[in-house]
């Protein structure tokens, strides 16, 4: 089950965190993965890891290609997707975060988040759907957030962008269901990624361990998710085993939305 043999996948933000975990897992399941990231070094690191894993696999199915790209630049995105040619699966994982309420969020902050989290997703959706329509099949998985389901303190701009991702997911799912294209999103709570470690180190110098524990305990399950756990759900939703699922948002949040009252 959950094999992706012969599938061509595109994973944005594949250089680190959730995107990297998805790219590595997809390759293990037999897909040829195009790792898109703005950071060339991170992009190549993911591809190298996949190639090392592939060398140990007996069937040698999984492959990876590094595609350095700024998802907020529409022409770059179009060029990359045209270069790839065929796309069976798109995972929109690239994203940036911001801490602040409506008063402390500047216009520059809003533009930065919009350009990556909204326009970047739009650019990749448009490029992928155009290709998928030709084959009358395709699967798209967008990374939303618990922030598009519940109010979170000081996440004004971030919540706005993830709400847009959720809305785009429903729109694409409805518009292209007759073309054999499925589109879903997932809403993770806090995930332990290099971004989280960097944020804690920068924001709470000298109190890293204490803040990590506090942020972990903020979720009813008592810990942050691992990127690999998020990737497992994404694999299912992008596999043929989930062929009856479209237009849905799946919280993967350690009980945050329903139990955090």
Going from the first residue of the chain to its last (261 residues), give the mean pLDDT of each consecutive group of 10, the final group possibly shorter. Answer: 96 98 97 98 97 70 92 98 98 95 98 98 98 97 96 95 98 98 97 90 90 92 97 98 98 93 62
- Give the pLDDT of residue 260: 79
C-alpha distances out from residue 232 to 8, 19, 223, Å: 18, 12, 18
The 3-state DSSP class for residue 8 equals strand
Portions of the chain given CATH number 3.40.50.720: 8-189+230-248
Burial class (CB in 10 A: 0-12, 13-18, 19+), 45: middle
C-alpha distances out from residue 1 to 39, 77, 228, Å: 33, 32, 18
Cα of 80 vs its chain's centroid, Å: 18
Give the residue numbers annotated as catalytic, written as ranges: 158
Q: What are phi and psi of 251, to 5 degrees?
A: -65, 135
Give CATH for domain 8-189+230-248.
3.40.50.720
- Give the pLDDT of residue 58: 52
The token pair at 48 is 């190298």
- Give the pLDDT of residue 62: 78
CB atoms within 10 A of CB 58: 5
* CA gap 111, 108 in Å, rounded: 5
What's the pTM? 0.95
Nearest CA to 9 out of 18, 27, 137 is that of 27
Please tell me what DSSP assigns to residue 226. P
Tokens 């911001």 sit on residue: 98
Q: What is the dihedral of CA 120, 126, 132, 138, to 10 degrees?
A: 50
* CA gap 22, 91 in Å, rounded: 8
* CA gap 57, 29 in Å, rounded: 10
């Amino acid at each position: 089950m959950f094999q992706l043999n012969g599938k061509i996948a595109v994973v944005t933000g594949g250089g680190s965190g959730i995107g990297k975990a998805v790219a590595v897992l997809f390759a293990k399941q037999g897909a040829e993965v195009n790792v898109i990231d703005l950071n060339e070094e991170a992009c190549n690191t993911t591809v190298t890891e996949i190639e090392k894993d592939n060398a140990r696999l007996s069937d040698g199915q999984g492959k990876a290609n590094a595609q350095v790209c700024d998802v907020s630049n529409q022409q770059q995105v179009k060029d990359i997707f045209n270069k790839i040619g065929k796309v069976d699966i798109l995972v929109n994982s690239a994203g940036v975060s911001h801490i602040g309420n409506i008063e402390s969020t500047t216009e520059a902050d809003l533009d930065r988040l919009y350009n990556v989290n909204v326009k970047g997703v739009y650019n990749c959706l448009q490029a992928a759907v155009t290709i998928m329509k030709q084959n009358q099949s395709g699967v798209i998985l967008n990374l939303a957030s618990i922030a598009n389901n519940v109010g979170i303190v000081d996440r004004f701009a971030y919540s706005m962008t993830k709400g847009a991702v959720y809305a785009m997911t429903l729109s694409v799912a409805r518009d292209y269901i007759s073309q054999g294209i499925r589109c879903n999103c997932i809403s993770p709570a806090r995930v332990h990624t290099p971004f989280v470690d960097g944020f804690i180190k920068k924001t709470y110098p000298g109190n890293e361990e204490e803040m990590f524990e506090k942020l972990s305990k903020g979720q009813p399950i008592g810990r942050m998710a691992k990127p690999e756990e998020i990737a497992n759900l994404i694999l299912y939703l992008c596999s043929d085993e989930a062929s009856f699922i479209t237009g849905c948002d799946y919280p993967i949040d350690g009980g945050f939305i329903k139990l955090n009252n």
